[in-house]
Amino acid sequence: MLTVLGAYSWINIRFLLEGAWVTILVSVCSIILSYIFGVILGIIRYVEIKYVSAIVGFVIDIIRNLPLILIIFFTYFGLPNIGFKPDPIWASVIAMAVFESAMVAEIVRAGIVSIPTGQMEGARSTGMTYWQALRYIILPQAIKNMIPAIVSQFISLVKDTSLATIIVLPDLMNHAQIIYGQNTNYTIPMFLALSVMYFIVCYSLSLLSQYLDHRLGTAKKSGEVEEVVQGAER
């Protein structure tokens, strides 16, 4: 009992919270960057721009089939060879943004493909250009299909930040290792604390996705789009 209480002293808890802040910072930056680039790359793959889409698809396939830890190693130890030396935090952000962008790109492409082709045809028949139809008709509907998969991928990203401990990222996992490294009796209490903290962050992200799903009013938007398309087809 005393061991557990000692492990959860205010000094240790504060040290863990400092690591949790770094985990959240890396996760948020990676999520924002990977979403932006993932959507762009996913659209490029979908529209099949000559040569460009094939090259982008080839690069995405390579990244998706590489271990994330290898990308982290390359970013931290490889980039300095070309004159760019990021610190562990930004090396982690870059590595995870690259890896997750490839994953999100496939989710975006699949989400767009899942929309019936009649939606595009109906939108074009109203006088919209291809890009207008994609932006105002196809993407709003596809977003609803993408949300669960994208959020699931981002939850995995939060947990994968622990891999960056290998490059001494001062995150939650790294700080826990330092604590139980000084006292092995704290090992189990620290793993319990890690479980609770990772759960809180990941579950909060799940709740946020549910909120966004309702807040965006995707069901309502989809109904409005259906009316536009049906009206165009009459």
Q: What is the pLDDT, as a whole number, of residue 229?
A: 38
Q: What is the pLDDT, as a whole number, of residue 163?
A: 92
SS3 143: helix
Average pLDDT of span 117-136: 87
Residues 3-49 have pLDDT tens digits of 667 788 889 999 999 999 999 999 999 999 999 999 999 999 998 88
Q: Where are the domains of the chain?
A: 2-233
Query: Predicted confidence band at 146 (pLDDT cuts at 50, 70, 90)?
Result: confident
Nearest to 146 by CA among 123, 188, 115, 176: 115
- Judge residue 67's burial from the number of C-beta atoms within 10 Å of its C-beta, 0-12 exposed, 13-18 middle, 19 or more buried: exposed
Question: Which fold does the domain 2-233 belong to in CATH?
Answer: MetI-like fold (1.10.3720)
Backbone dihedral region of 51: left (phi > 0), alpha (psi from -120 to 50 degrees) or beta? Answer: left
Average pLDDT of span 172-196: 91
Distance CA 116, CA 202 (A): 33
Pick from 120-124, 182-186, 206-210: least confident: 206-210
SS3 171: coil
Residues 186-203 have pLDDT tens digits of 899 999 999 999 999 899
Q: Classify the C-alpha dihedral 103-177-197-90 as positive or negative.
A: negative
CB proximity list for 59: less than 8 A, separation 6 or greater:
102
Q: What is the pLDDT, as a whole number, of residue 223?
A: 45
Q: What is the pLDDT, as a whole number, of residue 214?
A: 74
Query: Predicted confidence band at 225 (pLDDT cuts at 50, 70, 90)?
Result: very low
What are 201's two structure tokens?
Answer: 């962050």
What are 41's two structure tokens?
Answer: 């790359």
Query: Hey, what amino acid is at 88?
Result: P
Residues 75-108 have pLDDT tens digits of 999 998 888 889 999 999 999 999 999 999 999 9
Nearest to 31 by CA among 155, 143, 146, 148: 155
Average pLDDT of span 224-231: 41
